[in-house]
Amino acid sequence: MQYKTHALGGITTGLIASHMIIDTLQATPSLPLFLTGASVYASVTVGGVIGSLFPDVDHPNSYMGRRLPFLSRPIQLASKASKDSFLKHRGLFHTLLFVFCLSLGLYALMSYFIDGLMFHVLRFFLIGFFLGNVNHILLDTCTKSGTYLFYPFVKKKISILPVVTGSFGEVVFAGVYLLSMIVIIGGM
């Protein structure tokens, strides 16, 4: 799928997650006052968009790969040195376990080095980042080439729909995301 469709998926995921988080926060009045709706929406949705683009950092010419060459270049070198398709584009970075471990690792680093208001903002950003990554991987799993979604538990690529990148099928996905966004924003 193209980065624009992934970004739409990230925004939609971020908005839905923010909605659910705000509902939970309202039921927990002991939390700090700065956790207003706007700050939660902003941090979760920005995290969702960045997370929805992140897995393609495993490709140097992708939107994220071009912006983070210090990550995409070493991955490209490793991928060239290996014949294993798991180490190439749509390999390791497109697995649920990797995304889970990456987000957990970032959370551990964040809790160690950051506190106060910034910790809360980044915590919500990280929730969005994790969900955005998951959304990206699920979306790519709907394409013909699929992903190693459940690696290492299932060691072959999984494809649940035969959607081709840039095809009408992708436009349908983008349309569904756009419609959902309008419904969510309209209901705010």
Cis peptide before 162 (omega within 30 of 0): no
140 versus 170: smaller Cβ distance to Zn ion: 140
Element (H, E) at 116: helix 116-141
Q: Which two tokens stand for residue 182?
A: 């309008």
Alpha carbon distance 154, 1 (integer Å): 23
- Shortest spacing between CB 55 and Zn ion, in angstroms: 5
55 versus 128: smaller Cβ distance to Zn ion: 55
Q: Is 56 in the site for Zn ion (CB under 5 A)?
A: yes
18 versus 135: smaller Cβ distance to Zn ion: 135
- Shortest spacing between CB 80 and Zn ion, in angstroms: 19
56 versus 170: smaller Cβ distance to Zn ion: 56
Q: Is 140 in the site for Zn ion (CB under 5 A)?
A: yes
Stretch that binds Zn ion, among 35-43, 140-148, 151-159, 166-174 (CB under 5 A): 140-148
Helix axes 168-186, 3-26, angle to 10 degrees: 30
All residues at 6 or more sequence positions from 151 whose CB lies less than 8 Å from its CB, including other chains:
86, 92, 95, 97
φ/ψ (deg, to 5) at 100: -65, -50
Residues in 6-35 at the binding interface with Zn ion, rule: CB under 5 A: none
Q: Are 94 and 58 in contact (CB under 8 A)?
A: yes
Q: Is 58 in the site for Zn ion (CB under 5 A)?
A: no
- Shortest spacing between CB 122 and Zn ion, in angstroms: 24
41 versus 54: smaller Cβ distance to Zn ion: 54
Residues in 98-117 at the binding interface with Zn ion, rule: CB under 5 A: none
Stretch that binds Zn ion, among 9-17, 50-58, 107-115, 149-157 (CB under 5 A): 50-58
> Among candidates 126, 102, 97, which has minimal Cα distance to 114?
126
> Among candidates 95, 101, 82, which has minimal Cα distance to 154?
95
Applying CB under 5 A, the site for Zn ion has a residue count of 3
Q: Which residues bind Zn ion (CB under 5 A)?
A: 55-56, 140
